[in-house]
C-alpha cells in the first residue's frame, strides 16, 4: 500500500460545462454520466496496460479504472459517506473526472475548481490505473469539498485532512458495498465477468487502527487539526490516518454526533478557523478547547489500553450489567392479599438476610462467576471497581477462623458487618463514577452503536 499522501491540489482554474472541458482530446475518450448526474467521467474504454501486468511490474495492488465503472463507484462512495454523516443527498455542484491512461499509477491526483453561475464546478485528473483505496480517499475529499463550499461566495475552502482521512478509513473498513467496482475480465467462454471475493467482516471496524495505535503513539489533537507536511508523508501518514479514523469515530458517537459533524462541515466556509468551528459545532459536549483536548487524551488512552478481542462493553451497558450482577431477583409481597412483585435484592441484603444459611454460599458463588465474566468485558474505567466487588464476595465465602464456637460466631458477625460496610462504600464509589462517566461531553459518554444497512 502506498503510504504517501494522495496529492490533491485545489486551485481556481477556468472550468466550464462537460461539453467544452479544457484539455480533453477531441477523440479517443468517452464521457459517462452517473445515475444522479453529479459525476461525469471521461476516459478510454481500454485504459492502457492491463492491471495484472502493472501489478506484477510494481509489486502493488492496482485497479484499472474504466469510465462506466467509475461512475457507479462514485455514487457508491457518495452513498457510503452520506450514511456515515446521516445526511440526505443535497448535492449542488458537479464533478468532472478525467482518467489518464498514460499517467503512472503513483502520479498525483489533481483537483481544480472554478466558480460558475450558481455554484462551483470541479475537475479531478487521475491516473487510470491506481490503488483502490487511494482513489476512494480522493473522491471522499472531493465530496467534502463540495459540501463545504456549496454556498460559499468566497475563496475555495479545502476539507480538513483529518475529517477526510477519518471518514474514508471508516468507509473502507465498514461499508456494506464494494466502494470501487473492479473491471470485468474475459473468461474462456468469452463472457466478461467481475469476481468479488469477501472473506467476512471484522468483529470490530477499528481493529487495524487499534493494532497500529497500540504500537505507535496516537497523534495529539493539535497535530490532527493542523497537520504539518511531515505528518502527512511516509510512515507518519499511517499514524495520521488511524488517529483521524479514531477521532471521527468518537465524534460521531457523541450525542447528536452526526448532526454536529455536519454542522462543522457546513460552517467551515464562514468560520474563523477549523478549531473554532469544531468547538462551536460540538458546543453541547465541550465548553472550551481544554475540554476537547482532555476528552481526546482520555479517548486515545482508553482505546489503546483495552483489548478489542474481548468486545469491551460501552460504559452505560457495563454499568447496567454490573448493577444486574450485584442484585438478586426475588418475589416479595406486602401481605397475602396482594400479588407478588419482582424486586432486586442488593448484595448487602443478600448477605445480611442469608448470613449463616446454606443457600447463601451457592448464591455468592453464582455472583462471583457473574463478576468474573463481567471483568473481562468492562472498560478500563470500571475494571478496578469490579475487582473490588469480587474481593468482597470471595471474603464472604471464606469462613471466619476461631478456636471456640462463641468466638467463631462473633468473628462471623464482625465479618458480615465489615463486608456490608465495604459494599456500601463501593456502591457510593460506583454512584460517583457513574455520574462522572455518563456526564454529557465526558470522555466516556455512552454511545449508540450504528449498524450499516443491509
The alpha carbon torsion through 95, 101, 106, 110 (nearest 10 deg) reads: -30
Ranking 184-188, 305-309, 379-383 by mean pLDDT, the lowest is 184-188
pLDDT of 63: 85
Residue 191: pLDDT band by 50, 70, 90 thresholds?
very low
Q: Is 186 helix (H, G, I), strand (E, B) or coil?
A: strand
> What's the residue count for the chain?
454
Ranking 68-72, 133-137, 388-392, 398-402 by mean pLDDT, the lowest is 398-402
pLDDT of 342: 56
Rounded-to-integer distance, Cα 305 and Cα 387, Å: 17
pLDDT: which is higher, 255 or 190: 255
Average pLDDT of the residues in 135-141: 96
What cell does 180 get? 470501487
* DSSP bridge partners of 223: none
Strand 129-130, strand 63-64: pairing: antiparallel
Question: To the nearest whole number, what is the mean pLDDT of the chain?
Answer: 79
pLDDT of 304: 85
pTM of the model: 0.63
Residue 186 has pLDDT above 80, yes or no: no
Q: How far is CA 209 from CA 141, 173, 304, 409, 452, in A?
A: 20, 10, 9, 57, 19
Residue 437 has pLDDT above 90, yes or no: no
- Computed from CA positions of residues 173, 94, 31, 127, in that sequence, does the dihedral angle turn out positive or negative? negative
Residue 453: pLDDT band by 50, 70, 90 thresholds?
very low
Average pLDDT of the residues in 309-320: 77
pLDDT of 362: 82
Q: Is 242 helix (H, G, I), strand (E, B) or coil?
A: helix
Nearest alpha-carbon partner for 111 in 152, 156, 70, 72: 156
Rounded-to-integer distance, Cα 277 and Cα 121, Å: 25
| Residue for grid cell 465477468 | 193
**Backbone dihedral angles phi then psi of residue 31, each to the nearest 5 degrees:** -120, 130
Amino acid at each position: 500500500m502506498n503510504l504517501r499522501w494522495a496529492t490533491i491540489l485545489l486551485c481556481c482554474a477556468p472550468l466550464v460545462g462537460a461539453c467544452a472541458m479544457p484539455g480533453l482530446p477531441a477523440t479517443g475518450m468517452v464521457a459517462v454520466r452517473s445515475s444522479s448526474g453529479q459525476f461525469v467521467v471521461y476516459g478510454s474504454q481500454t485504459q492502457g496496460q492491463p492491471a495484472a501486468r502493472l501489478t506484477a511490474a510494481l509489486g502493488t495492488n492496482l485497479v484499472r479504472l474504466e469510465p462506466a465503472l467509475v461512475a457507479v463507484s462514485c455514487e457508491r462512495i457518495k452513498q457510503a459517506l452520506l450514511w456515515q454523516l446521516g445526511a440526505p443527498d443535497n448535492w449542488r455542484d458537479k464533478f468532472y473526472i478525467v482518467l489518464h491512461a498514460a499517467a503512472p499509477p503513483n502520479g498525483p491526483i489533481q483537483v481544480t475548481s472554478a466558480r460558475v453561475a450558481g455554484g462551483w464546478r470541479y475537475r479531478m485528473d487521475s491516473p487510470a490505473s491506481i490503488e483502490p483505496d487511494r482513489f476512494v480517499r480522493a473522491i471522499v475529499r472531493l465530496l467534502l469539498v463540495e459540501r463545504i463550499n456549496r454556498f460559499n461566495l468566497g475563496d475555495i475552502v479545502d476539507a480538513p485532512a483529518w475529517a477526510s482521512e477519518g471518514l474514508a478509513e471508516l468507509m473502507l473498513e465498514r461499508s456494506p458495498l464494494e466502494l470501487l467496482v473492479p473491471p470485468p475480465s474475459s473468461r474462456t467462454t468469452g463472457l466478461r465477468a467481475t469476481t468479488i471475493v469477501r472473506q467476512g467482516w471484522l468483529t470490530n471496524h477499528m481493529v487495524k487502527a487499534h493494532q497500529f495505535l497500540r504500537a505507535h503513539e496516537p497523534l495529539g489533537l493539535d497535530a490532527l487539526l493542523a497537520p504539518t507536511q511531515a505528518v502527512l508523508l511516509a510512515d507518519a501518514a499511517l499514524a495520521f490516518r488511524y488517529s483521524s479514523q479514531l477521532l471521527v469515530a468518537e465524534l460521531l458517537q457523541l450525542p447528536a454526533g452526526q448532526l454536529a459533524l455536519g454542522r462543522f462541515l457546513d460552517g467551515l466556509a464562514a468560520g474563523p478557523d477549523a478549531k473554532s468551528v469544531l468547538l462551536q459545532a460540538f458546543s453541547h459536549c465541550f465548553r472550551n478547547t481544554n475540554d476537547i483536548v482532555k476528552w481526546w487524551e482520555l479517548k486515545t488512552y482508553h482505546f489503546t489500553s483495552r483489548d478489542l478481542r474481548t468486545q469491551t462493553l460501552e460504559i452505560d451497558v457495563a454499568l447496567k450489567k454490573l448493577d444486574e450482577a450485584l442484585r438478586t431477583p426475588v418475589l416479595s409481597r406486602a401481605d397475602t392479599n396482594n400479588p407478588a412483585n419482582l424486586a432486586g435484592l442488593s448484595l448487602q441484603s443478600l448477605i445480611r438476610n442469608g448470613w449463616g444459611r446454606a443457600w447463601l454460599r451457592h448464591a455468592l458463588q453464582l455472583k462471583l462467576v457473574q463478576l468474573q465474566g463481567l471483568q473481562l468485558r468492562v472498560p478500563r474505567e470500571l475494571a478496578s471497581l469490579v475487582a473490588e466487588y469480587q474481593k468482597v464476595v470471595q471474603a464472604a465465602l471464606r469462613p471466619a477462623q476461631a478456636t471456640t464456637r462463641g468466638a467463631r460466631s462473633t468473628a462471623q458477625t464482625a465479618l458480615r458487618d465489615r463486608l456490608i460496610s465495604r459494599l456500601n462504600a463501593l456502591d457510593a464509589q460506583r454512584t460517583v463514577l457513574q455520574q462522572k462517566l455518563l456526564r454529557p461531553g465526558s470522555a466516556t459518554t455512552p454511545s449508540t452503536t450504528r449498524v450499516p444497512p443491509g
